[in-house]
Structure 1
Amino acid sequence: MRVATAMNLGRLLTQTARRIPDRPALVWRDRSWTFAELDARVDRLGQALRSLGVAKGDRVLVHSKNTNAMFESLFASFKIGAVWVPTNYRLTPAEVAYLGASSRAKVMLRDAGFGAHAAAVRAENPHLRQVIAVGDAGPGELDYEALLAAATPPAPDHEAEVEAGDPCWFFYTSGTTGRPKAAVLTHGQMGFVVTNHLADLVPGTTERDASLVVAPLSHGAGIHQLGQVARGAATVLLGAEKLDPAEAWALVERHRVSNMFTVPTILTALVRHPAVDAHDHTSLRHVIYAGAPMYDADQQEALAKLGPCLVQYFGLGEVTGNITVLRPDQHTPENAGSCGVARTGMDIAIFDERGARLPPGEIGEICVRGPAVFAGYFENVEANAKAFAGGWFHTGDLGMLDARGFLFITGRASDMYISGGSNVYPREAEEALLTHPAVAEAAVVGMPHPKWGEAGIACIVCHEGMEVEEAALLAHLAPRLARYKQPLRIVQWDALPKSGYGKVPKALIRAKLAEEGIGF
């Protein structure tokens, strides 16, 4: 008996283009595309990928800033049944090469200026057949626009048949080992997530709305935009490569933006910029922030400036940002410090170290189950066994539920810290520091930072008779780690504090830093 097929998520765009073909779908810089135009470009890209040998289940690696090409590649991959593998554009060539090799990507799409990244992927991934470049194609690469122009439009309803468990997105997320793992997101799972986002985060969204993208499409913002396309809302991309609050507020006013997905550091930067008072932002109904806890003072500042439009959620990549929601009306003193209640159709529990479920008010590991949970890590049996122990997905975060079901995050089970909305795992920086010939020991901890929420401080011990300057170590890290993963400060000690077992607990590192008055 054949399992019932699911909807191919690429048809979210197909359906909207048929319903409202002439409505604006995507706006970027001085260009805009209607839904009919965007759908036609996506179909051509899909045909081009097919002509390059990309078949159902094959992976398409995408290393790009927020552009129309990146947005198009998402839907093109979905439509042909391929798996979209986006990267954080801030990663180094070596880091992207690992993602390309571990996913065994067949084709890579790269943005202008990332030729070195493509070369690194070619060197590490023997499965790569072709590189498509936007704007600056080099020898052996295909030009993006020329490829689309040469492609033959497919017949209507050409989308690949898929089942609920078929993968559509590899969402790379690091673990405590520091090595990125591919969380496998599926068509069925993502269909639930899109529906849930529309119901719980941005209810009432229609083609009369517009959504401003101020975070990378490779992560939560990309998931958020799927629902916007489904409802026919226009997606507006920032023109600048980096966040420009003045431009953001001008776009909010110009396009009557009604929703946006942010992280706390971005939201705080937007609220504190003088441009917020120079532009009309009364169109905003849902300003979503996620990815890290937000300081209460910053939250109150945002509420005072923007009004009751803040929506918070807690959700990891593995659960596709779909664990809790704190609605605008729930941003009350009673709920201060909470990230909300379980999303519709999802279940949250707190477990102790023995796997016993804890009652309200007690702190333990936050675990979750429901249709938004991913299918597992790609080809990683050990990680899957640990993540799904007892039939729940273990987030690795610590927290408690109150009697009403509101979740309060109290800490992290790992040493991971969140800088600028991005997860940073200290071991990656520690291992990179240890490749310097002068460094004998290294420990990195996240410390409170006024701009980034948290940032890294590295504590090192040099080999006997050797010394190294902070600037030299930072230069050593530059080609090895993305900028957001690099510690902002490096201090040198004669020895790292150790436990009786010879380990270096991060709590002791933080205590010593505090004792010496070292921080941001």
Structure 2
Amino acid sequence: MRTDVSGRIDLSGGITPATTRVMNLSQFLTQAARRLGDDTGLVWGDTTWTWAQVEARSAAIAAALVADFGVQKGDRILVQSANCNQMFEAMFACWRVGAIWVPANYRQSPDEVAWLAGSSQARGLICGAAFADHARACADQVDFTISIGAADFGSDYDALTDRHMGSAPSPVDVQRDDPCWFFFTSGTTGKPKAAVLTHGQMAFVATNHMCDLMPDSGPDDASIVVAPLSHGAGVHQLAQVAKGVKTILPPGERFDPATIWALVEKWRVTNAFTVPTIVKMLVEHPAVDLHDHSSLRYVIYAGAPMYRADQITALQKLGPVLAQYFGLGEVTGNITVLPPAQHFTDERMRIGTCGFARTGMQVQIQDAAGAEVALGGTGEICVIGPAVFAGYFNNPDANAKAFRNGWFLTGDLGHMDADGYVYLTGRASDMYISGGSNIYPREIEEKLLLHPQVSECAILGVPDPLWGEVGLAVVVPVPGADAAQIDVVGWLSGQVAKYKLPKVVVFWEALPKSGYGKITKKLIHEELVRRGELPGQG
């Protein structure tokens, strides 16, 4: 038995923490406003706000949450909105009063968002005027609604802000493990789960993003948002605010590469966060050659690995600016990093890698029993460290499946080389077994995408009476190519073992994308069923 310096008895034999209190995340914005008050902090369309103005508006809506609606620490505030300045402000306002920010993927249906309201036990809803049906669907689930823009529902956000302008509630005291964000998974295997992110965790994540992804960023930089703030882009922008980097929100909801490149030139944008499919669309659009993008230093992609052919195209168009990170929403992207200096167009590239462990994180490849596999062996990618979430809200079964001996089990398969670089094989759910052999589609997809007439592809296992499962390839030709002239099996023969060759090939004009711009096998399977192209379907 030991006694610490304060006289308390410590039965563990270790050190009893004197406190677990941490900074309230809203202070990132407050601190930026103090340092850089008159500098531009946020741009949306043709409107700009200084850091001081963003802070004042955020503080005002925070005051409204408390004074008008009685919001208290721990209350959940659901947000259904496309990217806008109000969404940006509300994130920090929620944190300031100790509430939990619960952003939804705004492309979901009213019933889906209503389910999120119920599952998160949301007290209030902040909803864009364009989503009246969503507001009505959630009305019975929440105590109040705030509308962004002119709407026939709820209290007007800007009117509340004007009424409370000048008020600045003191930030609520928070502990390291106090929730700040319910980060909904994309729900590719069922209903979305609310991953609980905390104040202490997210402070580490913001620091780690700057350390590993954008180490030299500061107030002279600008970041453009080309993904919904509800998920990875919101995490990215939190790190920008922490360093005083201005945020550029493109106008409108529709993704328009020409607009993105025009804004990059106008604001001398230095970094962007997005997903590989969006990078592909950006660098293949003619506008990339019409605007000056020499200011770009970091184009960060995550959410999925980028196929080798697309990496080469992007590097040739933009130069050595690509940075990759791998990580689920539960770990807020903080598992591995592959910095710009390790992206190459030649033989120096470690093809297929998603990089090495992020600073402060440990990555291990484990078998089904939790033992570390030998280097080069395939297993599940597991991670421990300060960026790992606290668990799923109100979902003990999911928590029991997600953790083992303290390790978070990502559900992704891969291997690690002798230098510590991790290579993704695919989701555990993507693997299929043909004739008793495990087949990982990503290996085959990488080789098929090197075909000069193939723009996109996906391979998944489908039922087969003889082999159990066989591969089905969905192929998107490049514009102008004749699908009849693309010999998929012939191209792959000699590059992969014969048993890995797809037995069925279909050609589509495009692959379906999730609300976050990702290509998922679940959506492709659903589309195969809809088209009647799934073998044995009838």
TM bucket by the smaller chain?
0.7 to 0.9
Give the counterpart letter for 1:326 in structure 2. L
Give the counterpart letter for 2:196 in structure 1. V
Give the counterpart letter for 1:190 in structure 2. M
Give the corresponding residue for 2:88: 71
Matched, 1:349 2:361: no
Aligned mates of 1:252, 1:29 — CA distance in 2: 13
Q: Which one of the candidate residues 263, 275, 289 is aligned to 1:263?
A: 275
Give the corresponding residue for 2:352: 337
- Please list the CA deviations of residues 271-303 of structure 1 after superposition, one character each: whole Å capped at 9, or x if unmatched: 011111111101000000111121101100000
Give the corresponding residue for 1:358: 373
Q: Which one of the candidate residues 182, 185, 189 is aligned to 2:194?
A: 182
Aligned mates of 1:5, 1:227 — CA distance in 2: 21
- Please list the CA deviations of residues 5-55 of structure 1 after superposition, one character each: whole Å capped at 9, or x if unmatched: 101000000001001101111000110000000000000010111121111
Instruction: Determine if contact 1:90/1:483 at 8 Å carries over to the other structure.
Output: no
Give the corresponding residue for 2:266: 254
Matched, 1:33 2:49: yes
Give the corresponding residue for 1:290: 302
Q: Which one of the candidate residues 151, 155, 158 is aligned to 1:137?
A: 151
Give the corresponding residue for 2:428: 413
Could you tell me how far 1:492 is from its partner in structure 2?
3.5
Could you tell me how far 1:154 is from its partner in structure 2?
3.0
Give the corresponding residue for 1:93: 110
Q: Which one of the candidate residues 157, 175, 189 is aligned to 1:163?
A: 175
Larger radius of gyration: 2
* Two-structure CA RMSD over aligned residues (Å): 2.5
TM-score w.r.t. length of structure 1 = 0.81
Could you tell me how far 1:129 is from its partner in structure 2?
1.1
Give the counterpart letter for 1:301 in structure 2. T
Aligned mates of 1:346, 1:70 — CA distance in 2: 30
Which residues in structure 2 correspond to 1:86-485 (within 5 Å)?
86-123=103-140, 125=141, 128-139=142-153, 141-151=154-164, 153-155=166-168, 158-174=170-186, 177-332=189-344, 333-415=348-430, 447=474
Could you tell me how far 1:389 is from its partner in structure 2?
1.3
Give the counterpart letter for 1:48 in structure 2. A
Could you tell me how far 1:415 is from its partner in structure 2?
4.5
Give the counterpart letter for 2:75 in structure 1. D
1:354–1:279 Cα change, 3 Å: same
Give the counterpart letter for 1:144 in structure 2. Y
Give the counterpart letter for 1:116 in structure 2. D
* Greater alpha carbon shift after TM alignment, 408-417 vs 254-263: 408-417
Secondary structure, aligned partner of 2:129: coil
Give the counterpart letter for 1:148 in structure 2. T
Could you tell me how far 1:169 is from its partner in structure 2?
0.2
Instruction: Determine if contact 1:288/1:310 at 8 Å carries over to the other structure.
Output: yes
1:21–1:346 Cα change, 3 Å: same
- Please list the CA deviations of residues 389-418 of structure 1 after superposition, one character each: whole Å capped at 9, or x if unmatched: 121000001000000000100021124999
Aligned mates of 1:71, 1:384 — CA distance in 2: 30
Aligned mates of 1:155, 1:397 — CA distance in 2: 44
Instruction: Determine if contact 2:63/2:168 at 8 Å carries over to the other structure.
Output: no
1:252–1:373 Cα change, 3 Å: same
Give the counterpart letter for 2:418 in structure 1. A
1:148–1:176 Cα change, 3 Å: closer
Aligned mates of 1:65, 1:104 — CA distance in 2: 22
Give the counterpart letter for 1:337 in structure 2. G
Instruction: Determine if contact 1:176/1:414 at 8 Å carries over to the other structure.
Output: no
Could you tell me how far 1:153 is from its partner in structure 2?
3.1
Q: Which one of the candidate residues 43, 57, 66 is aligned to 1:50?
A: 66
Aligned mates of 1:184, 1:343 — CA distance in 2: 21
Aligned mates of 1:149, 1:82 — CA distance in 2: 21
Instruction: Determine if contact 1:201/1:327 at 8 Å carries over to the other structure.
Output: yes
Instruction: Determine if contact 1:113/1:136 at 8 Å carries over to the other structure.
Output: no
Could you tell me how far 1:3 is from its partner in structure 2?
3.0
- Please list the CA deviations of residues 463-488 of structure 1 after superposition, one character each: whole Å capped at 9, or x if unmatched: xxxxxxxxxxxxxxxxxxx9995844
TM-score w.r.t. length of structure 2 = 0.78
Give the corresponding residue for 2:22: 6
Secondary structure, aligned partner of 2:155: strand
Give the corresponding residue for 1:503: none
1:215–1:176 Cα change, 3 Å: closer
Aligned mates of 2:80, 2:139 — CA distance in 1: 13
Give the counterpart letter for 2:162 in structure 1. A
Aligned mates of 1:266, 1:73 — CA distance in 2: 26
Aligned mates of 1:277, 1:244 — CA distance in 2: 15
Runs of 5+ unmatched residues, structure 2 = 1-7, 9-17, 432-440, 443-459, 461-471, 479-517
Aligned mates of 1:222, 1:210 — CA distance in 2: 15
Runs of 5+ unmatched residues, structure 1 = 419-425, 427-444, 452-481, 498-511, 513-520
Instruction: Determine if contact 1:291/1:315 at 8 Å carries over to the other structure.
Output: yes
Aligned mates of 1:155, 1:304 — CA distance in 2: 48
Secondary structure, aligned partner of 1:113: helix
Aligned pair count reads 440
Could you tell me how far 1:150 is from its partner in structure 2?
1.3
Could you tell me how far 1:137 is from its partner in structure 2?
2.3
Higher relative contact order (CA 8 A, sep 6+): 1
Matched, 1:492 2:507: no
Give % identity.
Answer: 55
1:152–1:308 Cα change, 3 Å: closer
Could you tell me how far 1:356 is from its partner in structure 2?
1.2
